[in-house]
Amino acid sequence: MRRGKALPTFPASAPAALADRQLRRNLGRATTAIRAKRAAVTEEMPDWEALREVARRTKEDVMARLDRYLLQLEAAVTEAGGVVHWARDADEANAIISGLVSATGVMEVVKVKSLTTDEVGLNEALAARGIQAVETDLAELIIQMAGERSSHFLVPAIHKNRTQIRDLFRETLSLPHLTDDPAELAEAARLHLREKFLEAEVAISGANFAIAETGTVGVVESEGNGRMCLTLPRMLITLMGIEKVLPTFQDLEVFLQLLPRSATGERMNPYTTLWTGVTPGDGPTEFHLVLLDNGRTRVLEDPLGRQALHCIRCSACLNICPVYERVGGHAYNATYPGPIGSILTPQLLGPGCHDSLPFASTLCGACADVCPVKIEIPRILLHLRGKMVEGSRNPLRRARTGFGASSFQERWLMRLLGWVLGSSRRYRMALRLGRGVQTLFLRHGWIRGLPGYASGWTRGRDLQALPEESFRDWWDHRGDRSS
C-alpha cells in the first residue's frame, strides 16, 4: 500500500457499486455459501472458543515482543541458509525484490499469495524493469487478465461469475469454444499455468506465518499452485509483513485449525507448504525473506488500534459484513477491503489517507463475532472515528455528520437534538411533526433523499419511514387494552 495519487473515497465509490445488480448477485451468492460452510465446520469444534482465545493471546504476545521475535526469526533463517532483508516501506521492498530478480537475468516470475505484494505495488515495479509477473492463484490470474484489482482476500475474483470468466478466458487464452463449465474453466487455467511453472526460475510468494523459533515460513492454499511455485524454481523470494511472525512451531497447531475453517469452511487446507531456509537437493537453492514494515510500526504505537495487526487474512469479517456484501471490495479503493481493511488501511497509511473507511460500517458487530483471533473491530472503528474527528486534518466533516455542516452548525444541531430527546413530550411532538413532513419525501415507504444539509445523510443511505405508531404508543395502548 503506497501513498500516491489520491483515490476516490468510499462514499464516492459506493453508490456505483450499489447500483450494479450483477455485482450484488455475485457477492450475495458467494458470501452466503462461504458463511454456511464456515458455520458448519466451526460448530463441530467443541473447543472453538478456547482456540480463538489462545490465538488472541498469542498475537498479543507477538505484538508486545515483536522486535525480539523478528531478530530471532532473522537469525534462524540465516542459519538455515536463507537471506533476510528489511524493508521500511513499499519503495524499499520493491527495490530489493526487483534487484534480486534483475540480477538473475530472467524476464518472467511466477507468484503465489500476492496480497502483500499488491500492497506495495510489486507487479508494477517489476514491469518497470521489463519483468512480467504471472499470478498463479486462479482468482488472481483472472483479475490480472482482466486488468482489475482484488476485491477479496481469499477469493479475489468474487465479484465475477463463471460466464464473465468464460468470456475473459476466451479472449485472453484464445479459446473461442470454451464453455462456462467450472471444470473446463479450471482445466484451461491449469494448462496455461503448467507451462509457466515448468519454465520459471524465480518465484515470489507471500506468507501466512513465519516461526521465530525455527526460521520456518509457511503458505496455505487450496489449488496446489503454491506447492509448484515454492518447490520448482531455483530462487524463492518471500515478502512478509512483520506481523506474520509466530513464536514457536507449536503455535501453528492453533492457527492451522482456525484459518481454514474461518477462510474457506474447510477442516484443513488441502496444501500446507513449510520450508526452512535452503535444503540441498530439495526445492529452491536460494531463498530470500523480505520483512516489510510499511506503516506497521506506526500501527503498533496505538494500544487499541494495533489489534488490526493480529489479522490472519481469513476474510471471515468480509463474508459476514452487510456493507461489503452489497458493494464488494473495489469500493474501498484499498488493498485490504471490508471491516478489517477499514481499521487497517487508515492506520498503515496515516492521517489523510482513506479517512472515510472507518465510517464504512453499520457497527453491527458481526465481524467481531466471527473473527478467529477476536479482533474488536467495532471498538476500533469507533476509536478511529474519534481520532479523525479530533484531528486537525479532517476532510470528513460531510461524511462524519452526514449534514455537511460547519463546526458551529454541527454543535447547534447536536444541542437541538439533545433538547428534543431530553423530554418525552418534546420527543413525541417531534415524531408527529416528522410523520407529517416525511410525506413530502416518501417513495414506497422509504425516504430516498432529503434537502439541504440533510442531503449528505441520504446520499449514501435510504431511511425507512417513521411508523404511524411508535413502540411507546403501542405499549401504552396495549396496557389500556390489558386493563
Residue 4: its pLDDT value, please? Answer: 53
Residue 451: its pLDDT value, please? Answer: 82
pLDDT in tens, 131-144: 999 999 999 999 99
Going by C-beta distance under 8 Å and a sequence separation of 6 or more, which residues neighbour residue 187? none
Residue 157: its pLDDT value, please? Answer: 86
Read off the pLDDT of each residue in 1-25 and give the average, rounded to a whole number.
Answer: 81
- Reference 377, options 326, 321, 331; nearest CA is 321
pLDDT mean across residues, the chain: 90
According to DSSP, the residues that pair with 447 across neighbouring strands are 442, 463
8 Å CB contact between 120 and 324: no
Phi then psi for residue 11, to 5 deg, are -60, -30
Query: In which band, very low, low, confident or very high, does the pLDDT at 5 lie, cut at 50, 70 and 90?
Result: low
Domain boundaries, the chain: 46-296, 407-482
Read off the pLDDT of each residue in 426-448 and give the average, rounded to a whole number.
Answer: 86
Query: In which band, very low, low, confident or very high, does the pLDDT at 482 lie, cut at 50, 70 and 90?
Result: low
Domain 46-296 belongs to what topology?
A: Rossmann fold (3.40.50)
Q: Tell the residue number behind the cell numbers 462461504, with chain if given.
A: 34
Higher pLDDT, 406 or 445: 445
Q: Angle CA(266)–CA(269)–CA(274) in degrees, nearest 5? A: 160
Going by C-beta distance under 8 Å and a sequence separation of 6 or more, which residues neighbour residue 366? 317, 320, 321, 322
Q: What is the chain's alpha carbon radius of gyration, rounded to the nearest angstrom?
A: 25
- Reference 404, options 342, 451, 466; nearest CA is 451
Q: Is the pLDDT of residue 480 over 70?
A: no
Q: Among 9-13, 198-202, 206-210, 212-216, where is mean pLDDT lowest?
A: 9-13
Residue 404: its pLDDT value, please? Answer: 47
| Chain centroid to CA 200 | 29
pLDDT in tens, 374-415: 999 999 999 999 988 776 444 444 444 444 455 667 778 889
Question: How many other CB atoms are there within 10 angstroms of residue 3's CB atom?
Answer: 13
